[in-house]
A and B are shown apart, each in its own frame.
Chain A
Amino acid sequence: MTDQSDKILNRDLINLANQPYKYGFRTNIEGDTIEKGLTEEVIRIISKKKNEPEFLLNFRLRAYKKWKKIRCPEWAQLNFPEINFQDIIYYSAPKQLEKLNNINEVDPELLNVFEKLGIPLTEQKRLTNVAVDAVFDSVSVVTTFQKELEQYGVLFCPISEAIQKYPELIKKYLGTVVSIGDNYFAALNSAVFTDGSFCYIPKNTKCPLELSTYFRINEQKSGQFERTLIIAEENSQVSYLEGCTAPKYDENQLHAAIVEIIALENATIKYSTVQNWYSGNKKGKGGVYNFVTKRGLCAGNNSKISWTQVETGSGITWKYPSCLLVGNDSQGEFYSVSLTNNYQQTDTGSKMIHIGKNTKSRIVSKGISTGNSKNTYRGFVNVNNKALGARNYSQCDSLLIGNSSNANTFPYIFVQNSTAKVEHEASASTIDEEQIFYLLQRCFCVEKAIATIINGFCSEVYEKLPAEFSMEADFLLSLKLEGSIG
């Protein structure tokens, strides 16, 4: 590229990704917040506040013991100062939230928060085809359409409510996909998780609505440790979406979540994420530390789990949505768009563990890095010796914008039988100035030209998002890019 042609990229691109974070407001809501710090006592307090059965308290305490023995993982391509776990608040709930039977009892201020975020919850305004569970700091505020879903036998509620109402299901499934000592952050979550969503789809049922959880961190010092558990019984289907935002703070907030999903015979679960936690300012100050363990178990034959994620936020992201393909002919999918700007760091990818016969998996990862950010794909494909006829296809494409960003791809492939077919394709590219010139010649402005090229780059993943949200993802990405390119 010549200096002249660099200009075209630099001209407006510089302004392109630095669009202010519009969800950065903080809400003053009187809270029930415990002292910061993590001790066994704190765990007992959390468990007591939630009026939990004893098995759960024991679950937490066992996890806490494990956690103290494990060390924070250092293998990821991420640089961050040591996290002071004693400086974090492990429970923060908006007051007045005892038990909500009626949306009218919810603090209107809270409803306003979600409305501002584009998630109206009141009956008049709520989305008609999506049931939403809204989680504010440590607790779930409201869940829409619960009654309607119950008619189908679909259980959709905050996990704390499920613990009270359906302890048998919780006992049976919690911690079965991600064990309490699975990894450092999973152990932490298992010890201190506060809320999250629970979904149960009964046999032979296609969930009639999209299910969605919306997470919001509000309190400056609080961590968010949510836990989601989805169970799809035989011949059932569900599509689930999570979204998240946080206010802008100069300090880093910790988010360490676990998502466990279980698909029984012939069941299909589609899990989509649009992650837009606060990513820090232009100089990399602040931003959410997002350490998440997401794992799906294709327990039954012919079951299917599909992860789709659009990751644009967080200062640091560490997550590898995975599939354990145990049932014969089961399928796992992972579609990801990950965009990093400024000083964001992302180490993300997927793990596909083939155990059953004729299991199939597919990984499509699109990384876009701009500014001074670091964007790493890390994937693990493991074909067990019993997984005869297993197939995997992985494709990792990186798009680099500007000359200070960084993209890495680390595919690990481990095959233990000779009948498996495993393919991995990877590419790294920059936005071609000839593509931009072509679009400019066709009346596109620079921002539009770049957004169009990037949307094209991500189109394969967008197609996998539920229709209601693919527009949002599109929009989110172009918002993020505004001002970012230089």
Chain B
Amino acid sequence: MNLKNPVLEIRNLRASINKTEILKDLNLKIHKGEVHAIMGPNGSGKSTFSKVIAGHPAYKILSGDIIFNGESILKLEPEERAYLGIFLAFQYPIEIPGVTNLNFLEQAYSSKLKATNNEDIDSFKILEYISRKAKSINMSETFLYRNLNEGFSGGEKKRNEILQMVVLDPEVAILDETDSGLDIDALQTISKGINTFMTDKKAIILITHYQRLLDYIKPTFVHVMRNGKIIKTGDFSLAQELELKGYEWIKES
């Protein structure tokens, strides 16, 4: 048991979209230094869970609370949650035509600095910082000069999400199926990026379908989500068991 205060705590959370309840009494505590893997069959509410934490306006919170470092963030706008240090790597990264990746990263990073420290850094330093981060995860500079996700392959989009993560350097990163659609090489690169990012001051939520990713990134906990709630929690061996047996054998407790 971790006696310290969790960095992120989800309490009895119920949420709906278009009047359909997706999250039903979800509870989760995440401490710094932990990697939580969330697995579960399609339609169990995993992506909804990630978007609700990030504050997507399409979802309605019916009851419960989301606590970040001791404060409820339910009333905060998505960008305010981002300033606090919540990052969501999108399952389907969005294309923004005509906006270069570099311009986007510069604006994102400078907005965060501005919001958190009220700090203005000159753009040359920002550029240097971004190139360094790109290098740290083996992304070539040419990536930076392409338009944001426009014409990117599936793997490139996912790597780009990881680049954004390391640039914004959040406290809690939620990675929504960042591994899906990747070949082995890309998976290794991404895992390396995630492992470099991870320290005892950070926490990661990995939403995934496959044990494969967990071979590279060792989870502290593995949760099984089904029908909008967490029905089983275990360690890495649970992921191995799921890989063999599927989800059907687990009954809601």
B-contacting residues of A (Cβ < 8 Å)? 1-2, 4-5, 7-8, 11, 432-435, 437-446, 448, 452-453, 455-460
Q: In the assembled complex, which residues on chain A have CB atoms less than 8 Å from the CB atom of B58?
A: 1-2, 4-5, 433
9 A–B contacts from the bound complex (CB under 8 Å):
A2-B18, A440-B82, A442-B168, A443-B115, A443-B168, A444-B79, A444-B107, A456-B98, A457-B98
**Set B59, B90, B104: member contacting A452, Cβ < 8 A:** B104
Whether the Cβ atoms of A440 and B98 lie closer than 8 Å is: no
State whether the Cβ of B62 lies closer than 8 Å to any Cβ in chain A: no
Whether the Cβ atoms of B79 and A440 lie closer than 8 Å is: yes
A4-B57 contact in complex given A440-B79, A444-B108, C-beta closer than 8 Å: yes
Closest residue on chain A to residue B112 by CB atoms: A443
Q: In the assembled complex, which residues on chain B have CB atoms less than 8 Å from the CB atom of A457?
A: 97-98
Closest residue on chain A to residue B90 by CB atoms: A438
Least CB distance from B148 to A in Å reads 8
State whether the Cβ of B191 lies closer than 8 Å to any Cβ in chain A: no
- Taking A4-B59, A433-B58, A438-B94 as known contacts, 13 extra A-B pairs with beta carbons closer than 8 A to each other, sorted by chain A number, are A2-B17, A8-B78, A435-B96, A438-B93, A438-B96, A439-B96, A441-B82, A442-B108, A442-B164, A442-B168, A443-B79, A448-B111, A460-B98
Least CB distance from B241 to A in Å reads 33
Whether the Cβ atoms of A452 and B107 lie closer than 8 Å is: yes
Q: In the assembled complex, which residues on chain A have CB atoms less than 8 Å from the CB atom of B99?
A: 452-453, 455-456, 459
Main secondary structure of the interface of A (DSSP, over half): helix
Q: In the assembled complex, which residues on chain B have CB atoms less than 8 Å from the CB atom of A448?
A: 107, 111
Whether the Cβ atoms of B98 and A455 lie closer than 8 Å is: yes
Closest residue on chain A to residue B94 by CB atoms: A438
Complex Cα–Cα for A337 and B57 (A): 31
Whether the Cβ atoms of B82 and A435 lie closer than 8 Å is: no
Whether the Cβ atoms of B96 and A443 lie closer than 8 Å is: no
**Set A1, A4, A446: member contacting B60, Cβ < 8 A:** A4
**Set B94, B108, B112, B168: member contacting A434, Cβ < 8 A:** B94
Which 8 residue pairs are nearest across A and B when measured between Cβ atoms? A456-B98, A459-B98, A456-B99, A440-B78, A438-B94, A443-B111, A442-B108, A443-B112
Tally of chain B residues near chain A (CB < 8 A): 35
State whether the Cβ of B227 lies closer than 8 Å to any Cβ in chain A: no
Complex Cα–Cα for A448 and B82 (A): 15
A-contacting residues of B (Cβ < 8 Å)? 17-18, 54-60, 77-79, 82-83, 87-88, 90, 93-94, 96-99, 103-104, 107-109, 111-112, 115, 147-148, 164, 168
Least CB distance from A7 to B in Å reads 6
Complex Cα–Cα for A433 and B56 (A): 10
Whether the Cβ atoms of B111 and A445 lie closer than 8 Å is: yes
Least CB distance from A402 to B in Å reads 17
A435-B94 contact in complex given A2-B18, A444-B107, A459-B99, C-beta closer than 8 Å: yes
A8-B57 contact in complex given A434-B94, A445-B79, A445-B111, C-beta closer than 8 Å: yes
Which of A439, A444, A457, A459 has the most C-beta atoms of chain B within 10 angstroms of its own C-beta?
A439
Q: In the assembled complex, which residues on chain A have CB atoms less than 8 Å from the CB atom of B109?
A: 443
Q: In the assembled complex, which residues on chain B have CB atoms less than 8 Å from the CB atom of A442?
A: 82, 104, 108, 111, 164, 168
Least CB distance from A455 to B in Å reads 7
Least CB distance from A360 to B in Å reads 24
Complex Cα–Cα for A453 and B103 (A): 12
Q: In the assembled complex, which residues on chain B have CB atoms less than 8 Å from the CB atom of A437?
A: 54, 56-57, 78
Least CB distance from A397 to B in Å reads 10
Q: In the assembled complex, which residues on chain B have CB atoms less than 8 Å from the CB atom of A438?
A: 90, 93-94, 96
Q: In the assembled complex, which residues on chain A have CB atoms less than 8 Å from the CB atom of B98?
A: 455-460
Least CB distance from A239 to B in Å reads 23
Complex Cα–Cα for A455 and B100 (A): 11
Complex Cα–Cα for A360 and B52 (A): 52
Complex Cα–Cα for A449 and B98 (A): 13
Closest residue on chain B to residue A366 by CB atoms: B98
